Structure formats: structure tokens, C-alpha cells
A and B are shown apart, each in its own frame.
Chain A
Amino acid sequence: ARRQSRFSSGVFTDRGSTPRGELVGTSCSRLSFGTWAGAHRIVSISLGKIYNSRVQRGGIKLHKNLLVSLVLRSARQVYLSDPCPGLYLAGHPGAPAPPQQPEESAAGPPAGWGEPPPPAGRAAWPEPEPQPERPAVPEVPRAGDSEPAATVTAAGDTLQGGEAEAPEAAWRRVEGPRETAVGGAGGPAEVSGVFPEGPEAARGPCGCPPGDEDNLSAAPRVDGCRAPRPAAAEPPASPPVCARKRGAGWVGGGPADCPAPGSTPLKKPRRNSEEQPGGAAAAAEEEQEEEMETGNVANLISIFGSSFSGLLRKSPGGGREEAEGEESGPEAAEPGQICCDKPVLRDINPWSTAIVAF
């Protein structure tokens, strides 16, 4: 035998899971399917799992990440659909009617889970670019390209238009345009129909050619893996603006402007942003506390909401770094390492740091 005996029987340790393998306590069991609190918790747990998957030996497990992403999408639909005070843009003209969502998401067959709600009757953001058909969502990262610039621009416009909104609302709103830009499949995938056919080449500058054979880390997008997109596969609202992928679903914006089209991102973008939100979440958690709690999500909501407008006006370069910082993945230098340019981080104010971490 070439190995030392390692007693592992009876010891069940896994990052992001309970030490002993016993059933977790009551909070989880009390949560019923369809409750917002339940969805909230599940979303944060799922993000943690995605983050942990990046640091596990053996590389990203495609199967497990796919399953986690499906759970995330289900939870997100409930998360969105449950009207929570302040979480929706009640006063916003473009606010979609939240109750519509539960009906649709609850629409019976399993297929309903994967298909985007019909575009009809959805809110339209008062933004220059095509509107998302749903309110901003705590979007988990998409494997597709994000257009932070477009997102931010839209978000900025939106915010400036309604800064009186509740922090959560602002945070949500930020998500919206970004979502739009991404045009994710599934979930808010209805937006894909709204966008012009984005060129596949839009992904080029990202350095993430579609259909990369060796894309081991191509975990499916959280939101959209299941349903084939109704329209373009790559519907970036403004593809040239910033082709670099962004993952963190929670963070709405990025810099007000993005690197010029075709510019090389500072770090090689992840092929799939699946890990990002989890990574970001975990990083945020690490910054705040060790435990994976649902409270941090609400914290980030208030953080973003109160400071986002200020953030937008800060140095765009710093903003870009935030986006940069969110990216990670198997292509990163070290698995599990958040790709943050530390010197840049130091120059960003604490809010930005939190966003970056997330």
C-alpha cells in the first residue's frame, strides 16, 4: 500500500455542507415550496455550492452544477414571483406585475420550469435599449456574455430616473437591464426574443468561443439551460460594448462605460459564469462572515441600493475592475481564486469592494 491509512469513515465533511451529515435543522424543513423565504435560502445555498465547486478537487462537476442551476432557476422564479414590499418597483411604470410570474412558473408541467414566461404584457424599462420583460432578478450568472456597459448604462438611466426607489428596487432594476443585455435563455429568457440577433461573434472578444470543445467548465447557465432560446443564441444588446462575460447575478451594474469592443479584458473571462455568482457570494460571505447565511443577501441589497448611483459615477476603470473581479473559473490561474486585481481593489470604495466580492 502506498498510501497512509486515512480514516474517513463516519466523517462527512464537505465545504458548504453540514459537518456531520445530519439533517439540517428546522429552518430548512419549515420552508415550503413556493415561499419566498424558502427560495431565498435555496438561492444562497446554491450560490455557495457553485462557488465551492470551483475549489473542489477534480475540477468542475458538470452534472452537479447543472442540477444546482436548475434548482437556482426554480428558486429564482419563486423568489421573483413573491411580492415583497420594496422588492418590486411598485411605482415604476415599467414594473411588471409580479403575480403573473407565479402563475406562469407554477404552470404545471415540468416543461414550464424551463421555458421563459411569454413576453406579452411585460414591463418595459424606460431605457434606450430593448427592455427586459421581467423585473430585475437576482440573476445568477449566465454563461452567456453579459454586457456590463449596456447594463450599466441602462441601469444608470433607470436609476437616475427613479432614485427615490427603495434600495431593493434599485438593486432589482439594475438587474433588469443587465438581464436584458444578457438576454439569457430560460428564466427571463423571453427577452431573447426582444433583442436583435446578436452575432455569435460577439463572444469572440471575450475569448470564449462558443462550442469550445475543451470547455470543461461549461456548466450551464443558471437561468437558461433548459429551454432553447427562442431567438438568437447570443442576444447581446450592445455586443460591441463589452464582450466580457460577467457573472454575478446580484450585481446589477458595472462601469458606466466598458472597454471598447474588441478590447482584451484584463483577465481571461470564464467560459461559463456559473461559478461566478457562487464565488462572488462566497467571497462576499467570506468578507462579511464565514457562514453561509441568507442575511447577507439582504445586506447586499441595501448596499447596492443606497450606493449604486454613486458607484456609477465613480471611476469607470474601477467599475470595470469590479466586473473583472467577479469573474473566475477554471481558466483562472488558480481554481478557487477570485480574479481580482488587488491594487485596483484598494482604490475602490468599500461599496464597490462588496460588489466586487459578490
Chain B
Amino acid sequence: MQKIMGSHLTLDHFRLASFSLPSSLLHWSKPPPSRTWTVVMTYQQDYLSPCLYPLSALSDIISTVEFNHTGELLATGDKGGRVVIFQREQESKNQVHRRGEYNVYSTFQSHEPEFDYLKSLEIEEKINKIRWLPQQNAAYFLLSTNDKTVKLWKVSERDKRPEGYNLKDEEGRLRDPATITTLRVPVLRPMDLMVEATPRRVFANAHTYHINSISVNSDYETYMSADDLRINLWNFEITNQSFNIVDIKPANMEELTEVITAAEFHPHHCNTFVYSSSKGTIRLCDMRASALCDRHTKFFEEPEDPSNRSFFSEIISSISDVKFSHSGRCIMTRDYLTVKVWDLNMENRPVETYQVHDYLRSKLCSLYENDCIFDKFECVWNGSDSVIMTGSYNNFFRMFDRNTKRDVTLEASRENSKPRAILKPRKVCVGGKRRKDEISVDSLDFSKKILHTAWHPSENIIAVAATNNLYIFQDKVN
């Protein structure tokens, strides 16, 4: 598998951007066909330029964001079951500045709401995860999943169409063979580019519980899907069966103590995967060891700090996301208040712990009451594994530089993403005197949460989903 090494981004780049006076220009994308749009502007270097996509196509809340392996495509899924794919505009000599602009490439309805009559349950159409397959031909393939069903979609372009059939006319109506006097050979003629998405595989009926993760294996032949209690291994070609590789369902459901919250394959070793639990533990499993990987190869758990004990200790220790680093040497986990980096060779504690919004620790009861404590934040690595990013509330998202140990809080909001705007670092005032630009904890808007972010595999381009808005920020270093 190709090793992806991005340019080294330091927090200084973000910091400097806030103090320089660039004429950063807002970078707008082309709207979907049904929309009228206004401005397409260029941008300059040395700052973060927000690209705002308040697309009407994203009418529902964005529930997942994912770059493909080259970063050329960016897919978003929403609560309405739709997938919108953006494509990066190609660099051209005439319009150097337009490189990096993401335009809508394809929109399709991936999942529809379903009703399980047997259990009187409605199955949400919300797209929980999208994962791209590496590109192997002209078409693009991605997996999208809701709570119950995984689908493999093929996204392909069509720019030619055949013309000159004998048995049907130009409108497609059948011709009476008796009227045909001559024969011709159909030819391919160019047409307007059309991007079509077709479902190539539907992997259904394999999960009793809600699917929370899918992960493509590095062998590109298999992938896994994980629900609360089980993980299944699929072959892309076979839809009517899957292998169950992890099953933590107890014989007596009353003894249930933890559920699976996320799972991912190792980026290089096709036999290795990890899954996280609601108890704050991570298990690394080797599929060579046994068919059913109920016994882990490695078990990562940090001892709890008894001084932090509260009613909600279990909830905030539940891991909401786990991601391998691109190098495959580390894993990153996100729980409610922290992001942790673990070395695969050290199981008893993480090597790094970053506080995302520790000021919420004293507010857990309120956050429990308004359900925010159950929010599942994701976390991402940059291409070089030197910076990690995760979301927070009030449309804030955080970046941590692992080398310099510096961090920054940025905001993704329409008010702060006007043309020529740069992203200013934000700060939350915990107590005492609040400075001018700071925001106090009690003023945070907990309905504006950034759960899903994505980082371009090799460049400093990030996609941030804030409710139903998608922001693409770019940092161009001179």
C-alpha cells in the first residue's frame, strides 16, 4: 500500500495566518445544478481559506465525511441517506488559483428508510460511515452504510453514448424490422459528462445491532462491518454471507457490560484490526490466530483515575472513534473529553493524551441531561501523523501538533467564514476574567457540534462538517 506522507504542517502556520494581513479570499464552489450561486473567488497563500458549502443538497445533517485515497474526491453522507461527492478541480495553467476548489461531482440516494416489520422497528437511513476503496480503474468505488446495510457504490463517468442503432430510433422507440432497409454500425459520440452512481453490491441482513463502523482491508478484497456486539468480515464479491470474526454478545444479555464502538483494519497488515469498546478499552486482534477473534492479541487500557470518579465516568470513558495512524504504528482514540495516542507496543497506557475540552468536566451532569454527553466525536490524523484533529462544541474544532505539543482551537461557522476571512484561533474562558475574544463555557452553543472531520491524505486540506454545512479549509505554505 502506498505510504502517504503529507507535508509537514506545524501549528505555526495556523498561528501566523491569524496575525498576518492577507487578502484571503473566500473560496466558493460551484453549486449543484438546481442552485443559483454567486461568487467564485480565488485565494492566495499563507492563510487558511474557508471554503463554504452550504449546499442545499446537504439538506440534512452531515453524518460522515471522508476523503478518498488520493484526496481528489471528498464524500459526505447525511442523515437523509444521501451521499454527495465533491471532486477537486484540476490544476490548470490558466487558473492556477482555482486548484483546490472542490465541486459537487455526484449526488445520490444511498439508503432509504426501511421498516422491519418483524420487530416493528424503523431503520434509519442515516449514513453512518463512508469508506473509499482504492482506485483500480476509471471508476470510483465506495462503501456506505446505515444501521443495518452496507452498500458498495460505483461512481463512474460517462461522456460518450452510442448512436445509430438499427432496431431503435434516436428516441429509443423500437423500429419495425420490416421498415429497415439498410444497416449501420452504431458509433460512440461524445456527450455531456454524466456522473452516475450505481449500487454494485448490497450487504444486508448480517447485523442485528446498529452498525457503527466499516473498514476496508489493505488486501482490497475484504472489509469488515462492526455493530454493537459483532464484527463481520465480508468479501466484496459475496453478498449473501459474511464471516463473524468478533462476537461479544454474552449468552445472557443481562450480563452485558460493554459494546463495540468502533473498529478499523491495520493500514498495512491485512490480518490485524482493532476495535474499541464502551469501557474505554481497545483490543487488537490477529485473524491468523483463530477464526473467531474473541481473544485479543493486545489489550489497551489505561487505569482509571479514581479522583475523577463521578456518575458519568463510564460514559466519558466510552471510546467514540479509533483510527490507525498512516504509519500503522499508533492508534488514536477519542473519548468524550480527550484524544489519546497509543503505541501498539505499549498496552498499559497511551503515549499521549490531549484534553479537547476539559472545561466540560464539571458540566457533565448538564451534558447528560441534554444528551450531549452521548455525542460521538471522531478524530483524524494528518497525512504525516504529526497533527491530530477532532471536533468540539460551538462549531469549534481542535488540532494538536504532536511534535511541538501546541494546540489550536478554530471555529467553523458562517459568520466567521466570510470572504477574505481567516480562521482566528479561539479560546474558551474557563473562569475568572474573560478576555475580549474569549468565549465563556456557559456561552457555548452545544447544539453546534463538530463530530465529523476529514484530513486530506497528503495535503493540508481539511473538511469540517458542522451540522448541515461543510467547510473546507486549506493552508497553503509558501
Question: Given the complex, which residues of B lie within 8 Å of A45, measured CB to CB?
Answer: 368-369
Is the pair B256, A21 in contact by a Cβ cutoff of 8 Å?
Answer: no
Is residue A342 contacting chain B, with contact meaning CB distance below 8 A?
no
Is the pair A114, B59 in contact by a Cβ cutoff of 8 Å?
Answer: no
Q: Would you give the 0/1 interface string for A13-26, flagging 1 where the beta carbon is closer than 8 Å to chain B?
A: 01011101111110
Is residue B243 contacting chain A, with contact meaning CB distance below 8 A?
no
CA distance A138 to B310 in the complex (A): 20
Is residue A213 contacting chain B, with contact meaning CB distance below 8 A?
yes
Is the pair A58, B123 in contact by a Cβ cutoff of 8 Å?
Answer: yes
Q: Would you give the 0/1 interface string for B348-371, flagging 1 where the beta carbon is closer than 8 Å to chain A?
A: 000000000000001101111111
Is the pair A75, B60 in contact by a Cβ cutoff of 8 Å?
Answer: no
Is residue A31 contacting chain B, with contact meaning CB distance below 8 A?
yes
Among B109, B119, B257, B448, point to the contact of A330 (Cβ < 8 A): B119
Kindly report which residue of chain B lies nearest to residue A185, judged by CB atoms: B254
Is residue A218 contacting chain B, with contact meaning CB distance below 8 A?
yes
Q: Name the segment of B180-188, B217-225, B311-319 touching the other chain.
A: B311-319
Is residue B41 contacting chain A, with contact meaning CB distance below 8 A?
no
What does DSSP make chain A's interface, helix, strand, loop or mixed?
A: loop
Is the pair A3, B314 in contact by a Cβ cutoff of 8 Å?
Answer: no
Most buried by A among B311, B370, B442: B311
Question: Given the complex, which residues of A lie within 8 Å of B408, measured CB to CB?
Answer: none
Kindly report which residue of chain B lies nearest to residue A111, judged by CB atoms: B304
Is the pair B253, A210 in contact by a Cβ cutoff of 8 Å?
Answer: yes
Q: A23-B366, A59-B121, A216-B209 are in contact. Are A14 and B254 (CB under 8 A)?
A: no
Is the pair A220, B61 in contact by a Cβ cutoff of 8 Å?
Answer: no
Is residue B124 contacting chain A, with contact meaning CB distance below 8 A?
yes
B367 to chain A, nearest CB (A): 7
CA distance A264 to B368 in the complex (A): 39
Is residue B37 contacting chain A, with contact meaning CB distance below 8 A?
no
Contact residues, B43-64 vs A (CB, 8 A): 56-57, 59-61
CA distance A45 to B366 in the complex (A): 11
Question: Given the complex, which residues of B lie within 8 Å of A166, measured CB to CB?
Answer: none
Is the pair B447, A10 in contact by a Cβ cutoff of 8 Å?
Answer: yes
CA distance A18 to B56 in the complex (A): 27
Is the pair A331, B315 in contact by a Cβ cutoff of 8 Å?
Answer: no
CA distance A58 to B63 in the complex (A): 15
Among B57, B119, B314, point to the contact of A71 (Cβ < 8 A): B314
CA distance A23 to B309 in the complex (A): 21
Is the pair A331, B120 in contact by a Cβ cutoff of 8 Å?
Answer: yes
Is the pair A49, B60 in contact by a Cβ cutoff of 8 Å?
Answer: no
Q: A4-B59, A21-B446, A42-B368 are in contact. Are A225 and B120 (CB under 8 A)?
A: no
Q: Would you give the 0/1 interface string for A228-243, flagging 1 where the beta carbon is closer than 8 Å to chain B?
A: 1100011000000000
Is the pair B229, A57 in contact by a Cβ cutoff of 8 Å?
Answer: no
Is residue B467 contacting chain A, with contact meaning CB distance below 8 A?
yes
Is the pair A12, B447 in contact by a Cβ cutoff of 8 Å?
Answer: yes
A333 to chain B, nearest CB (A): 7
Q: Would you give the 0/1 interface string for B251-292, flagging 1 where the beta carbon is closer than 8 Å to chain A?
A: 111111111010000000000000000100000000000000
B469 to chain A, nearest CB (A): 7
Is the pair A11, B447 in contact by a Cβ cutoff of 8 Å?
Answer: yes
Q: Would you give the 0/1 interface string for B314-338, flagging 1 where the beta carbon is closer than 8 Å to chain A?
A: 1100100000000000000000000
Contact residues, A80-139 vs B (CB, 8 A): 108-110, 113-114
Q: A66-B259, A214-B208, A225-B256 are in contact. Are A6 and B59 (CB under 8 A)?
A: yes
Is residue B431 contacting chain A, with contact meaning CB distance below 8 A?
no
Most buried by A among B119, B253, B309: B253
B322 to chain A, nearest CB (A): 15
Is the pair A62, B314 in contact by a Cβ cutoff of 8 Å?
Answer: no
Is residue A152 contacting chain B, with contact meaning CB distance below 8 A?
no
Is the pair B208, A3 in contact by a Cβ cutoff of 8 Å?
Answer: no
Number of interface residues of B (CB under 8 A): 69
Q: A21-B372, A110-B313 are in contact. Are A28 and B365 (CB under 8 A)?
A: yes
Kindly report which residue of chain B lies nearest to residue A59, judged by CB atoms: B121
CA distance A144 to B255 in the complex (A): 10
Question: Given the complex, which residues of B lie within 8 Å of A22, measured CB to CB?
Answer: 370, 442, 444-446
Is the pair B210, A62 in contact by a Cβ cutoff of 8 Å?
Answer: yes
Among B119, B253, B312, B370, point to the contact of A17 (Cβ < 8 A): B370
Contact residues, B394-452 vs A (CB, 8 A): 441-442, 444-448
Is the pair A42, B311 in contact by a Cβ cutoff of 8 Å?
Answer: yes
Is residue A302 contacting chain B, with contact meaning CB distance below 8 A?
no
Is the pair A225, B257 in contact by a Cβ cutoff of 8 Å?
Answer: yes
Q: A23-B442, A210-B253, A211-B251 are in contact. Are A75 and B311 (CB under 8 A)?
A: yes
A163 to chain B, nearest CB (A): 34
Kindly report which residue of chain A lies nearest to residue B126, judged by CB atoms: A58
Is the pair A229, B255 in contact by a Cβ cutoff of 8 Å?
Answer: yes
Is the pair A1, B370 in contact by a Cβ cutoff of 8 Å?
Answer: no
Q: Would you give the 0/1 interface string for B124-158, flagging 1 where the beta carbon is closer than 8 Å to chain A?
A: 10100000000000000000000100000000000
Kindly report which residue of chain A lies nearest to residue B314, judged by CB atoms: A70
CA distance A234 to B209 in the complex (A): 24
Is the pair A1, B259 in contact by a Cβ cutoff of 8 Å?
Answer: no
B177 to chain A, nearest CB (A): 39
CA distance A233 to B259 in the complex (A): 20
Kindly report which residue of chain A lies nearest to residue B34, judged by CB atoms: A1
Is residue A67 contacting chain B, with contact meaning CB distance below 8 A?
yes
Is residue A142 contacting chain B, with contact meaning CB distance below 8 A?
yes
Is the pair A67, B278 in contact by a Cβ cutoff of 8 Å?
Answer: yes
Q: List 7 A-B contacts (CB under 8 A).
A: A5-B59, A22-B442, A45-B369, A215-B208, A224-B254, A225-B255, A335-B120
Given A2-B109, A216-B119, 13 new contacts (CB under 8 A):
A9-B469, A14-B370, A22-B370, A22-B442, A31-B365, A59-B210, A66-B257, A66-B278, A67-B374, A71-B368, A213-B208, A220-B255, A272-B254
Nearest first, the 4 A-B pairs at minimum CB distance are A12-B447, A21-B447, A218-B253, A58-B124
What residues of chain B have their CB less than 8 Å away from a CB belonging to chain A? 32, 34, 56-57, 59-61, 80, 82, 107, 109, 118-124, 126, 147, 208-210, 212, 228-229, 251-259, 261, 278, 304, 306, 309-315, 318, 362-363, 365-372, 374, 441-442, 444-448, 466-469
